């Protein structure tokens, strides 16, 4: 399955591949070599976009109250209520809702071209999404990377989202910061790899205490 909003990218490179392939057949000499080279580049770009814009089905782990990761990638920062997840170029870039609830705020801001893994990427294009859940508000900050600044949102204010549901996409290198409700605690640490809509990143504190009591 391909990510929503990706067909224009893939269609453009496929069309360019077909056109340059045709002209390479009817050309000769240096022009033929040049156009053939362009055709190969276009074909490689098409294959890259097909891989990059993949959007596999995901099944959330755990219970309905367990928060799942909004993004594929690696945890690069963490404090009591906030983590940052960096998505590399090879990761799936479709983002998902960590918990079920109602979207109560979407605040989009344009910005610069700082690498998303950099602490100074606060100036980059970003989209702040706040979701009201039964256990408090959870917030996501989608941050675009150094290449192409384009955050695509699949939701709007007032939308009802389910845990693990697709909510948007960030094209190319990017990061998602997560701010969990006060009743939650993180189950992941810096360096951990996570999958959007599948990996559990936080659980309710009372549940964690209950599990610890059972183990002891």
Catalytic residue among 6, 69, 174, 199: 174
Q: What are phi and psi of 130, to 5 degrees?
A: -115, 125
Residue pair 49/10 in contact (Cβ under 8 Å)? The answer is: yes
Taking alpha carbons only, the member of 58, 73, 38 closest to residue 172 is: 73
Largest CA-CA distance found in the chain, in angstroms, rounded = 78
Location of structure tokens 């033929």: 32
Query: In whole angstroms, what is the distance from residue 17 CA to residue 151 CA?
Result: 27
Catalytic: 174? Answer: yes
Residue pair 203/65 in contact (Cβ under 8 Å)? The answer is: yes
Query: In whole angstroms, what is the distance from residue 192 CA to residue 172 CA?
Result: 21
Taking alpha carbons only, the member of 115, 133, 111, 113 closest to residue 178 is: 133
Query: In whole angstroms, what is the distance from residue 165 CA to residue 176 CA?
Result: 16
Residue pair 17/42 in contact (Cβ under 8 Å)? The answer is: yes
DSSP-based three-state secondary structure for 13: helix
Q: Which amino acids are annotated catalytic?
A: 174
């Amino acid at each position: 399955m391909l990510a929503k909003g990706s067909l224009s990218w893939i269609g453009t490179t496929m069309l360019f591949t077909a056109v340059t392939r045709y002209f390479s057949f009817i050309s000769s000499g240096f022009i033929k070599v040049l156009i053939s080279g362009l055709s190969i580049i276009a074909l490689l770009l098409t294959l890259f976009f097909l891989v990059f814009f993949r959007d596999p089905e995901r099944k959330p782990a755990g219970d309905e109250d367990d928060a799942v990761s909004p993004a594929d990638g690696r945890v690069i920062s963490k404090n009591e209520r906030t983590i940052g997840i960096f998505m590399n170029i090879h990761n799936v870039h479709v983002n998902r809702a960590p918990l079920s609830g109602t979207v109560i705020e979407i605040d989009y801001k344009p910005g610069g071209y700082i690498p998303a893994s950099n602490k100074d990427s606060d100036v980059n294009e970003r989209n702040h999404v706040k979701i009201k859940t039964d256990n408090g508000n959870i917030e996501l900050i989608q941050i675009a990377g150094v290449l192409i600044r384009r955050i695509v949102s699949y939701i709007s204010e007032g939308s009802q989202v389910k845990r693990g549901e697709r909510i948007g996409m960030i094209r190319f290198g990017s990061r998602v910061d997560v701010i969990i409700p006060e009743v939650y605690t993180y189950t992941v640490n810096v360096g951990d790899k996570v999958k959007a809509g599948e990996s559990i990143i936080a659980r309710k504190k009372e549940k964690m205490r209950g599990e610890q009591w059972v183990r002891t």
